Amino acid sequence: MAKHQTIKAALSAAAIVGFGTLALAGAAHAQGAAPATGDLSGTYQCKSNPSPCLWSGATASITQSGKKLQIKGTNGAMADATLTSDVTITAGGTFNSLGIIRADKSIDWSDGTKWTKQ
């Protein structure tokens, strides 16, 4: 009987983790994230949200080749990034931030800034 209860507890824990993962994915879509269709290349206006735009300066440009992105700030900063899903970007180097792509192609960055496509 104890073995049956252990298996039942393990299955319950797995179900909770699975539902939690689905909830997080659903929350991203509910907050306005949308599949990244087309090219993210272009010029973006950086807006404080709430952090100031220290890394990029007032604007930044993104060039894209497949899932690989290169980001350049008007202040000379550069970073390589990767489109990690239809709605997320991971930027390395000096930027070192995660981004969520919104339906309007704006990007909310983990450094507290928001970039809107021009």
User: pLDDT of 61-96, one tens digit each?
Assistant: 999 999 999 999 999 999 999 999 999 999 999 999
Q: What pLDDT score was predicted for residue 33?
A: 52
30 sits in which H/E element: helix 2-30
pTM score of the predicted model: 0.69
Rounded to an integer, the average pLDDT of 20-41 is 52
14 sits in which H/E element: helix 2-30
Q: What pLDDT score was predicted for residue 45?
A: 97
Residue 53 has pLDDT above 90, yes or no: yes
Return the structure tokens found at 30. 């509910």
What are the extents of the domains in the chain?
1-30, 42-117
Q: Identity (one letter) of the amino acid at 56?
A: S
- Using pLDDT thresholds of 50, 70 and 90, give the confidence band for residue 13: very low
